[in-house]
């Protein structure tokens, strides 16, 4: 039975408590269903939040998280005064910024054009095909780059008659990183936009046709306005991770030669933390980046709520 709780009315605490009792009588099963997921989030997301304190300590495995000595902001000072800090921030930001400049508009563009394909079977074949690269692992993607771009055996160098060390020369790193991302994920990222386009009422198109609108006009005056809210939402999500790191991929693509540009925060944290066991120092870096990302997504969200009407929450 569904019992409505009446918080607002003057019924007294007694009635209110009885209301809760009635709800719990039926709702306890919902809590049981939620329990495994909550337990997972508690162990893998909330307990590590408690572990963040090692950023302010000098963590020694023998003493444990709470037994290690407090050092205040030393780890943060060490990082910000190091030679690496400015380079890491610049590399991370630029890689993400360029990635966003290409990776954000392309799927929208593709979705609009795909939506205009007239031949039904060709359209569905295309849609299926452009999703395929998304299912390739990052390791294989990086492996393909190493194979195709090898200076001795690679097909690209064979075709161009050159022997460029693509994976070593720093100036190629960002382009290769972003182009391979575009190849892998732009097709997949059309899904949301295609879903939005397919939900547009066909009568709008019919009306536009009768009014003599060409296809291009329909794109400009029907498709794009309908896509705008979802575009804003995706932009907020993307802008919020401008200081995030695609550590998986950068780690695979980083070589001794391209470190001046491939050294991004996530890779540095992995190298110093996991390979050199500098747990406290890298936790401090991780905390900075997390806070930065958090502030960023909140402010972009706030901004878009002020300017337009769309926001995540």
Partner 1 sequence: MKAKIRDTRGDRVFNWLNLAFWIIALGIVLYPLYLILIASVSDPDAVMMGRVLLKPVDFSLIGYEAVFQHRDLWNSYANAVIYTLGGSALSLVVTMMAAYGLSRRFLAKGLFNFLIVFTMFFTGGLIPTFITLKDMGLYNTRAIMIIINCVSVWNLMVARTYIKSTLPEDLYEAAVVDGATHFVYFFRIVLPLSGTIIAVLSVYYGVARWNDYFTALVYIRDRAKLPLQTILREVLASLTTSTSSDAFFSAYANDTKGMTDAIRKAAVAKYCCIVVSTAPAVLLYIFMQKYFVKGVMIGSLKG
- Specify the residue, 1 or 10, whose C-beta has the smaller distance to partner 1: 1
DSSP three-state, residue 198: helix
What is d(CA 168, CA 176) in angstroms, rounded to the nearest whole number? Answer: 11
Please state the closest distance from residue 307 (CB atom) to partner 1, in A: 20
Planar angle of CA 125, 128, 134, nearest 5 degrees: 150
- Specify the residue, 1 or 12, whose C-beta has the smaller distance to partner 1: 1
Tokens representing 169? Answer: 């020369």
- Specify the residue, 238 or 293, whose C-beta has the smaller distance to partner 1: 293
Please state the closest distance from residue 87 (CB atom) to partner 1, in A: 20
Please state the closest distance from residue 177 (CB atom) to partner 1, in A: 13
- Specify the residue, 90 or 237, whose C-beta has the smaller distance to partner 1: 237
Neighbours of 103 (CB within 10 A): 17
Q: What are the C-alpha distances in Å from 297 to residues 111, 240, 247, 265, 287?
A: 26, 4, 20, 18, 15
- Specify the residue, 90 or 209, whose C-beta has the smaller distance to partner 1: 209
Please name the residue ranges forming H helices in 211-278.
215-218, 224-239, 247-253, 259-262, 265-270
Please state the closest distance from residue 132 (CB atom) to partner 1, in A: 6
Please state the closest distance from residue 195 (CB atom) to partner 1, in A: 4
């Amino acid at each position: 039975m569904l019992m409505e709780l009446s918080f607002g009315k003057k019924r007294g605490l007694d009635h209110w408590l009885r209301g809760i009792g009635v709800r719990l009588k039926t709702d306890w099963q919902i809590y049981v269903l939620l329990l495994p997921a909550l337990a997972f989030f508690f162990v893998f997301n909330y307990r590590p939040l408690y572990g963040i304190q090692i950023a302010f300590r000098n963590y020694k495995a023998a003493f444990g998280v709470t037994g290690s000595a407090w050092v205040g902001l030393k780890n943060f000072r060490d990082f910000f005064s190091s030679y690496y800090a400015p380079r890491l921030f610049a590399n991370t930001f630029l890689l993400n910024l360029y990635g966003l400049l290409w990776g954000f508009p392309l799927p929208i563009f593709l979705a609009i054009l795909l939506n205009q394909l007239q031949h039904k079977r060709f359209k569905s074949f295309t849609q299926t095909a452009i999703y395929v690269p998304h299912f390739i692992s990052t390791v294989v993607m990086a492996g393909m780059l190493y194979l195709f771009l090898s200076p001795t055996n690679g097909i690209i160098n064979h075709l161009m008659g050159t022997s460029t060390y693509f994976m070593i020369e720093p100036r190629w790193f960002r382009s290769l990183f972003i182009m391979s991302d575009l190849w892998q994920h732009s097709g997949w990222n059309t899904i949301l936009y295609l879903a939005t386009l397919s939900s547009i009422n066909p009568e709008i198109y019919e009306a536009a046709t009768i009014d003599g609108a060409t296809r291009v006009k329909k794109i400009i005056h029907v498709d794009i306005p309908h896509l705008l809210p979802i575009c804003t939402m995706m932009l907020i999500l993307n802008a919020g991770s401008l200081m995030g790191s695609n550590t998986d991929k950068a780690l695979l693509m980083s070589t001794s030669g391209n470190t001046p540009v491939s050294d991004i925060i996530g890779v540095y944290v992995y190298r110093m933390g996991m390979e050199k066991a500098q747990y406290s120092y890298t936790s401090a870096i991780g905390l900075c980046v997390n806070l930065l990302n958090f502030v960023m997504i909140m402010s972009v969200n706030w901004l878009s709520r002020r300017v337009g009407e769309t926001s995540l929450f």
